[in-house]
């Protein structure tokens, strides 16, 4: 799937496993934490820095996290990403305890 390949490009495992079965060969191909954690000079590949996610793909990622899906909505338009978030406040928190904060934010992108 296209979204799965985009997530892998970012170094994130997709929320659902791919249709094909995974064998031990795939697990042995990955580096262990101690193998990966070794000093080396920083380098980056400019072609791997850019990834495009549609509004539908972002909201599909949110839908997989059902707790977050009930609290966050994302809207994308030309050069703007908008989000609406519901944040329940712990009842023991002073002044706002037990209430839900409604947060609306936007980020200009280009």
Q: What pLDDT, on the 0 to 100 scale, is given for residue 21?
A: 45
Residue among 49, 77, 55 at smallest CA distance from 3: 55
Cβ count near 14 (within 10 Å): 15
Instruction: Write the CB contacts of 7 (distance below 8 Å, at least 6 apart in sequence).
Output: 13, 14
DSSP for residue 79: T
* pLDDT tens by residue, 6-23: 777 777 777 655 444 444
Instruction: Write the CB contacts of 61 (distance below 8 Å, at least 6 apart in sequence).
Output: 3, 15
pTM higher than the cut 0.85 = no
């Amino acid at each position: 799937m296209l979204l799965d390949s985009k997530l892998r490009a970012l170094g994130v495992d997709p929320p659902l496993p791919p249709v094909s079965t995974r064998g031990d060969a795939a697990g042995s191909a990955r580096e262990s934490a101690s193998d990966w954690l070794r000093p080396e000079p920083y380098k980056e590949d400019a072609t791997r820095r850019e990834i495009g996610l549609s509004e539908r793909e972002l909201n599909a990622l949110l839908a997989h996290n059902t707790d977050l899906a009930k609290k966050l909505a994302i809207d994308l338009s030309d050069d703007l990403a908008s989000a609406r978030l519901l944040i329940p406040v712990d009842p023991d928190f002073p002044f706002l305890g037990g209430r839900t904060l409604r947060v609306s934010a936007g980020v200009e992108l280009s």
